[in-house]
């Protein structure tokens, strides 16, 4: 069941949440509370349900049981920004960074002046301020990923969700993207949910971590959740993050 939260400061709350595809239960009895301004990392082995929970948060999957509640500000989901792992554009189509980022406004009624302001703000936040008129295909992999972030920011989200956004990026480029996202969290107080396989990134940047394994989620402050015991239990092999 979905609802809204009356409690101030809480952006997302699940209680006894169970998610399933047909007869297959992916997550059972999940309890989680995300407060405004927190930087959450969702980590865990492949197929452990990270993306399934994202789908439920984005409204694409109905809970089988339990509750999933959202802050009334993000409940219409217009204020939830989603950055996918990658964007499969037709590479023969001409487009500029400006056109690409403005696509993020689909479904919103925005005046031309507000549109310009949103575009300038989103590009500045993503570190692409000087590239509005640049050919999108001339951007590097990291710049394209930041253009994806800008496309989401142009909607002025209260909750930003990134699904394996650093996959395929080299270490400096991934760090650059994380720097952008961390700045959004610290300077603008944006609540972030970051799905990744990279435990080192989580250890370095997360305020909170949700560790997915065996249909269950262990959630809490990053330092507590990323303990060697929890990670061993989740991955089945000894894992240590420094």
Binding-site ranges for another protein (CB under 8 A): 58-60, 77, 82, 84, 87-90, 92-96, 98-100, 102-103, 105-107, 135, 151
CB closer to another protein, 77 vs 233: 77
> Which residue from 4, 10, 14 is spatially nearest to 212, judged by alpha carbons?
14
CB closer to another protein, 156 vs 205: 156
How far is 126 from 56, CA to CA, in rounded Å?
Answer: 27
Residue 155 CB, nearest distance to another protein (Å)? 8
Residue 151 CB, nearest distance to another protein (Å)? 8
- Let me know if 230 is exposed, middle or buried by CB neighbors in 10 A (0-12, 13-18, 19+): middle
CB closer to another protein, 154 vs 209: 154
Q: How far is CA 52 from the centre of its chain?
A: 13
3-state SS track over 118-187: HHHHHHHHCCCHHHCCCEHHHCCHHHHHHHHHHHHHCCCCCEEEEECCCCCCCHHHHHHHHHHHHHHHHH
CB closer to another protein, 167 vs 207: 167
Instruction: Indicate if the alpha-carbon torsion angle 179, 147, 75, 43 is positive or negative.
Output: negative
How far is 112 from 179, CA to CA, in rounded Å?
Answer: 30
Residue 162 CB, nearest distance to another protein (Å)? 13
CB closer to another protein, 134 vs 204: 134
Residue 33 CB, nearest distance to another protein (Å)? 24
CB closer to another protein, 4 vs 135: 135
CB closer to another protein, 77 vs 216: 77
> Which residue from 155, 122, 118, 151 is spatially nearest to 136, judged by alpha carbons?
151
Residue 73 CB, nearest distance to another protein (Å)? 17
Residue 106 CB, nearest distance to another protein (Å)? 5
Question: In angstroms, what is the C-alpha Rg of the chain?
Answer: 18
Residue 121 CB, nearest distance to another protein (Å)? 19
């Amino acid at each position: 069941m979905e609802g809204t939260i009356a409690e101030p400061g809480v952006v997302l709350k699940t209680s006894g949440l169970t998610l399933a595809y047909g007869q297959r239960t992916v997550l059972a009895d999940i309890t989680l509370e995300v407060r405004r301004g927190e930087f959450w990392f969702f980590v865990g082995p492949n197929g452990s349900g990270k993306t399934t929970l994202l789908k439920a948060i984005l409204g694409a999957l109905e809970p089988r049981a339990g509750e999933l509640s959202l802050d009334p500000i993000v409940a219409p989901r217009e204020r939830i920004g989603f950055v996918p792992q990658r964007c499969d554009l037709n590479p023969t189509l001409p487009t500029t960074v400006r056109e690409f980022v403005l696509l993020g406004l689909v479904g919103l009624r925005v005046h031309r002046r507000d549109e310009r302001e949103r575009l300038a703000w989103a590009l500045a936040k993503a570190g692409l301020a000087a590239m509005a008129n640049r050919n999108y295909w001339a951007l590097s992999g990291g710049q394209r990923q930041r253009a994806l972030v800008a496309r989401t920011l142009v909607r002025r989200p209260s909750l930003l969700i990134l699904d394996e956004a650093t996959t395929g990026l080299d270490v400096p480029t991934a760090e650059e993207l994380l720097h952008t996202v961390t700045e959004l969290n610290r300077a603008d107080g944006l609540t972030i949910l970051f799905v990744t396989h990279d435990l080192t990134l989580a250890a370095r940047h997360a305020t909170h971590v949700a560790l997915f394994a065996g249909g269950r989620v262990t959630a809490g402050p990053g330092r507590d959740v990323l303990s060697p015991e929890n990670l061993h239990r989740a991955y089945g092999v000894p894992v240590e993050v420094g």
